[in-house]
Amino acid sequence: MAKVPMSVDELKAMAATIRCDIIEMICTAEAGHPGGSLSATDIVTALYFRLMNIDPANPRWPDRDRFILSKGHACPVWYAALAERGFFAKSHLGTLRRLGSILQGHPDMNKVPGIDMTAGSLGQGLSVGIGMALAGRLQKKDYHVWVIIGDGESQEGSIWEAAMSAAKWKLDNITAILDRNNLQNDWHVDELMPIEPVADKWRAFGWHVVDIDGHDMAAVVAALEDAKERKGGPTLILARTVKGKGVSYMENVCEWHGKAPCKEEADQALEEIRRCSCEQ
């Protein structure tokens, strides 16, 4: 099992490992969503190997921190983190999207150890996270709830209804992370349905907002640690990311939202990720 909590340098190395896991499992499955999985990798890595109070041997531990990947189609990054953290054997990663596998195209909390919410329909994760945060308050638990949402997903009205609720109840035990990679399935987010000025909108809804480079591991760790300690209301981390991060031909290319690389493309991606990791 991986050593935790990890240093920033160790987190960078683990993020590279998880990126390789993502490429390998999607290539093997010949289906999946690499772009948004790769953009969220540094954030998910920091959460699972530094921030979150969890126990892989007891996935339903009542006092655990909760994590929700509201943009559930990016589940390869979640599966890879759970496997590397020891929630289930890494051999399962090679069964992504196969009939009978626990690792389906969207995460299922009834099948996968460590999954706290079955995701699929966009726009629902923040509302569920608020329910978890309210439950923690009522039960006098000190766990924290982390929710990653997509910027395309932020076109959903349910996201903003949830944002109002968290501020109204002054929930300081929930943090939302906006994976601002600027692309969605069809095209550029701000050309299809603009969400800017997104930071000002969250502030207007009563959230404390932190704007970071979502691939600067030191900045990611600092923002997450500050959010967990901040009191008085909810925090939104605006993580500016690159869709397909780490793979030159995928970066900022909308086509790789939901397309699997072939064997040759996967080999190139793995070589680039590993080379970059060695250079850090």
| pLDDT of 186 | 85
Q: Give the position of tokens 């500016």.
A: 240
CA distance 65 to 61: 9
| pLDDT of 234 | 98
CATH code for residues 8-279: 3.40.50.970
Q: Is 239 helix (H, G, I), strand (E, B) or coil?
A: strand
**Sheet of 174-180: strands edge to edge?**
66-69, 145-150, 174-180, 235-240, 208-213
| pLDDT of 120 | 82
Q: Which amino acid is at 224?
A: L
Domain boundaries, the chain: 8-279
| Average pLDDT per block of 10 residues along the chain, 280 residues long | 89 98 98 97 98 97 98 97 98 97 96 95 96 98 97 96 97 98 91 95 98 98 98 98 97 94 97 83
| pLDDT of 4 | 86
Contact 220, 241 (CB under 8 A): no
Strand partners, 209: 236
* Percent of residues in the chain assigned helix, strand, coil, to nearest 5: 50, 10, 40
| pLDDT of 279 | 67
| pLDDT of 280 | 64
CA distance 122 to 149: 9
**118: number of CA atoms within 13 Å, CB side?**
6
| pLDDT of 201 | 98
pTM, entire model = 0.96
| pLDDT of 59 | 97
